[in-house]
Amino acid sequence: MIRRSICLVFALALTLLGGPAFAQSSDDDVALKPAEPDYTIVNLPTSLRLPVMKDEIRITHRFVRPLKCDSCPNSLLADAFGIDVGADIGLEWRMGIIPSGQIVVHRANDKTIEFMGEYSLTRQSGSMPLEIAALAAVQGAKNFTTVYSPSVGLVLTRLFGDGGAIHVDPIWTHNTNKFFNVHPDPNVTETDKDTLMVGVGARVRVGKTLYLTGEATPRVSGFRPGKTVAAFAIEKRMGGHMFQLNFANANQTMTFGQLAEGTARALSPSGKAQWYMGFNITRKFF
């Protein structure tokens, strides 16, 4: 069943990435889009297209010490806002393989690996109010050797000139409860194997190269432990780099399966969500 799900995901990815009905020119994909300068918001994907045979890397870094920690031996300042305590880290590489189509590989330091394909279906224009992209992904634990979890979804984007953008990302992820290994939840049954999420986010340009960003990923059905993951950030664009300082109520939410877990891994002993500091660094090689 798992192998069949993986095959279906990659079949869909190939269909999305190769559909001639939506063939588009990539001539303008190299040009900077000030309202949508990056391929992610904080954790959620955007619809930004990657030029053919160009690539980008992203480092995700989430400190494991919560900003408010009554049980920590040192103060937040003494721990340098969590820098001294360690972090959950991910390394991501993406490449444009056809016009409007890109592939992504993400590996987290808990040995979770996620493969994703994204294809742009529409561009925003006078007759089309949205940019729409389709995505298909699959992640696996222990260096992609077990506990596979496929995902399919859409990225809906509305650009507001050069001033910013709003994103809505409905994403369905299968086999999500197998990744939940913190503690049993009496409200979760064996039939709750899937999660439907509808991520929402926005990026606002507040200066020539300065942005404010925020997102939330409510789970609307299926497996829903913990609370909704939310994050906000300030980011600075410098040439081909994007530097983002972010704050989120979970510290391990860098793949779709991890987003489906919500804040379950980051709850305090009292059951309250805690906030963590982190950062993303992206570098375009074009």
List domains and CATH numbers for the chain.
2-20+35-284 (2.40.160.40)
For 238, what's the count of Cα atoms within 13 Å in the CB-facing half-sphere? Answer: 5
End-to-end CA distance of the chain: 41
Q: pLDDT at position 13, please?
A: 44
Residue 175 carries which DSSP code?
S
Q: pLDDT at position 193, please?
A: 83
**Please, which residues bridge with residue 19 across strands?**
none
Query: Could you state, in chain order, the average pLDDT of each consecutive group of 10 residues for the chain (286 residues)?
Result: 47 42 55 96 97 97 89 86 88 97 96 97 95 97 92 98 97 85 52 89 97 97 91 96 96 88 75 87 96
Give the tokens for residue 11.
């079949």
Residue 92 CB partners (closer than 8 Å, separation 6+): 57, 58, 59, 60, 104, 105, 106, 107
Look at residue 260 and give its three-state secondary structure.
helix
Spatial separation of the C-alpha atoms in residues 218 and 220, rounded to whole Å: 6
User: What values do phi and psi take at 160, rounded to 5?
Assistant: -120, 80
Q: pLDDT at position 192, please?
A: 73
Spatial separation of the C-alpha atoms in residues 188 and 86, rounded to whole Å: 31
For 54, what's the count of Cα atoms within 13 Å in the CB-facing half-sphere? Answer: 16
Q: Please state the pTM of the whole predicted model.
A: 0.85
Give the tokens for residue 33.
């889009």
Q: pLDDT at position 181, please?
A: 53
Burial class (CB in 10 A: 0-12, 13-18, 19+), 187: exposed
**In the chain, how long is the greatest CA-to-CA distance?**
59
CB 171 within 8 A of CB 151: yes
